[in-house]
Amino acid sequence: MDALDNVRLGMTAEHIVTVTSEMTVGYFVANMPQVYATPMMILHIGMASGSAIAAHLPEGFVSVGMDVKVRHLAATPVGRKVRAFSRVVQIDPKSVVFDVEAWDGERKIGDGTHRRGIVDVLEFEKRYGVRQLATSVA
């Protein structure tokens, strides 16, 4: 059985967060505005993408981010809800490509594509000498 046998075009997921001060560029970089940071948007897009296919991968397999091409279109202040949305648009032998968007209410604040590689966790740990230390809270 191939790890991607149960993954289908069109699968979707979203990840919703309320922007906190710890998610702002001003939190990470002095003298910058307290608005939703681009790296946080990328993180949340990646989380949505991973969620879209996680339940359809065989036991012991996960997806990992390997390519991100996104535009951050508008600033979002602390306290606003952001919805990161992801949809499977391409399935390759060892990776999946997603169309991704981020929304602040009715306003699109980001869009692009994201590719996730499919890895066998045990083989990955052996190859790179890393261990899965904890289960994600997301």
Residue with tokens 């952001």: 82
Specify the pLDDT at position 131.
Answer: 76
Specify the pLDDT at position 135.
Answer: 55
Strand ranges of the sheet holding 61-72, from the earlier edge strand across to the other edge? 12-18, 81-91, 95-104, 107-120, 61-72
The 10 Å Cβ neighbour count of residue 11 is 20
Closest CA to 49 of 136, 121, 117, 2: 117
Specify the pLDDT at position 39.
Answer: 97
Tokens describing residue 32: 């910058």
Specify the pLDDT at position 129.
Answer: 86
Report mean pLDDT in 10-residue bins for the chain, 138 residues: 94 98 97 98 98 97 97 98 98 97 97 97 88 56
pTM exceeds 0.85 for this model: yes
Question: Is 43:110 a contact under the CB 8 Å cutoff?
Answer: no
The answer for residues whose C-beta is within 8 angstroms of residue 86's C-beta and 6 or more apart is: 12, 13, 14, 45, 48, 49, 51, 52, 98, 99, 100, 114
Specify the pLDDT at position 132.
Answer: 66
Element (H, E) at 65: strand 61-72
Tokens describing residue 115: 């590719």
